[in-house]
Amino acid sequence: MSRSPISRRRRPSTATAKSSPSSPGSRRLAASLLLILAALLLGACGDDSGNGSSTAETGTTASTSTDEAPAHPPAEVGSGRGGVELTEIGSFDRPLYLTQPPGEKNDVYVVEQGGTIERVSPDGETSTFLDISDEISSGGERGLLSVAFSPDWKRDHKLYVDYTDPEGNTRVVEYQADGDTVDPGSARELLRVDQPYPNHNGGLVLFGPDDLLYIGLGDGGSAGDPDRNGLDETTLLGKILRIDPEPDGDFPYTVPKSNPFAGEGDARGEIYSLGLRNPWRFSFDPETDDLLIGDVGQDEQEEVDVVTPAQARGGNFGWSAYEGDARFNEDQEAPDAIAPALVATHEDGNCSITGGVVVRDPDLPTLAGRYLWGDFCRGELRSFTPKPGTTASDDVALGPKVEGVASFGTDNAGNVYAVSINGPVYRLDPK
């Protein structure tokens, strides 16, 4: 089916499960090492040397079939197989993210790792919307990583970006748009977080269904969470934060009083969820408000977490007591850890999970209500039916592949996009 360029229609068997964390468990040794890629692996796992390079292995869910999609898969409603083709909307310089401002019907915005945001019109024409390339450190897992537009965009024209500065710090900065461009001089810093290592930066900023700003931060990097940040309530590393970007007096943002650790002694009030290694990409289901997190694993397991809004608030996802559903650092305890909905082991080609979106586009019936995800190394687009509190039993390959998939995005019409760091950005269209 032809479409316009942009718009249309509008550790396996020896693992200790998190559900029974009191039993000791043991880590399974990796079956074999597969050299995958060097400096461009985002959310890198594997050797985690801190220089952005990675060795990795491959994976699939411990509880689902690893069958490849057939050459001509049946386009059955909700099957997750077939019925979809990829339409390239453009090629960019190391693109990492795509989104669309609230109320916008035409243009989408593509974030490039080197420090620019490109505005893309329905006919495929591009123009530079923001250029902060002089303000960032780019390469490996660093750079300009995402953008979030204010829920009140039509009135206030504010946007928020997550990037790595030249000193290696993570910065979340507000900018003011003026017409078709943004003045870099309008920058107002909300948050600066020291990063002890150059990997596991996290990098996503996203407004939730409550119109508050969610920020994903990795555990600080290196390998194995050496500083034990994931479960430490006194640090922002290894967490998803939730803030109101409006200033609180002289403070650059407001900590919502409903945050689980607000006013709790030495705990950081900004923390919303904890026990995360590198939540590179997460999203909310637009129908249920459930939170879905793709958390990049260490040497053996990638995971997807699916939780209700109530479970997300203060939710502990177990790292580094657990990697996926397997016991990891024995000196860490997480008795209340939430078990992943899906575990993808490194034995089947995965190395760095890219969290996706729940598909609510009626033009993609095979993916109706399914969570679409991918892996940076494996390239397969896969999906399963997300249900909080349950383990996925229907994870399957869709058919098309996107090499170097860095993120998934949606526009206000419900169209779904896949972004490859190699350059192409694709829209998923019915076949």
Partners of 283 in the β-ladder = 292
User: pTM, whole model, 2 decimals?
Assistant: 0.86
Q: How many CA atoms lie within 13 A of 268 on its CB side?
A: 21
For position 16, what pLDDT does the model report? 43
Contact 143, 137 (CB under 8 A): yes
Query: In the chain, which stretches have pLDDT less than 70?
Result: 1-75
CATH superfamily of 30-359+366-430: TolB, C-terminal domain (2.120.10.30)
**String of b and e for 178-214 (b: at least 16 CB within 10 Å)?**
eeeebeeeeeeebbebebebbbbbbbbbbbbeeebbb
Partners of 305 in the β-ladder = 293
For position 68, what pLDDT does the model report? 52
CA distance 18 to 320: 12
C-alpha distance from residue 404 to each of 89, 170, 214, 407 (Å): 17, 23, 25, 9
pLDDT tens figures, 367-414: 999 999 999 999 999 999 999 999 999 999 999 999 999 999 999 999
Cβ-based neighbour number of residue 124 at 10 Å: 12
For position 76, what pLDDT does the model report? 85
Cβ-based neighbour number of residue 362 at 10 Å: 10
CA distance 115 to 136: 7
Output phi, psi for 100, to 5 deg: -140, 135
Contact 52, 198 (CB under 8 A): yes
Largest CA-CA distance found in the chain, in angstroms, rounded:
60
Residues sharing a CB contact under 8 Å with residue 363, sequence separation 6 or more, in sequence order: 8, 9, 414, 429, 430
Classified as helix, coil or strand, 367 is helix
CA distance 397 to 13: 23
CA distance 55 to 34: 7
Output phi, psi for 12, to 5 deg: 20, -135
User: Which of 30, 3, 35 shows the shortest CA–CA distance to 363?
Assistant: 3
- SS3 readout for 97-147: EEECCCCCCCCEEEEECCCEEEEECCCCCEEEEEECHHHCCCECCECEEEE
User: Which of 290, 297, 396, 310 shows the shortest CA–CA distance to 353?
Assistant: 297
Partners of 99 in the β-ladder = 109
Cβ-based neighbour number of residue 163 at 10 Å: 26
Residue that the structure tokens 């943002």 belong to: 253
pLDDT tens figures, 239-257: 999 999 999 999 999 999 9
The domain ranges of the chain are 30-359+366-430
C-alpha distance from residue 229 to each of 62, 205, 219, 234, 397 (Å): 27, 20, 6, 9, 34
User: Which of 320, 379, 373 shows the shortest CA–CA distance to 350?
Assistant: 379
CA distance 380 to 388: 24
For position 74, what pLDDT does the model report? 54
**Mind giving me the DSSP string for 317-339?**
--TTTEETTEE--TT---TTPPP
Contact 188, 252 (CB under 8 A): yes
Contact 244, 212 (CB under 8 A): yes
Cβ-based neighbour number of residue 68 at 10 Å: 11
For position 77, what pLDDT does the model report? 86
Q: Strands across the sheet with 301-307, in order?
A: 281-284, 291-295, 301-307, 342-345
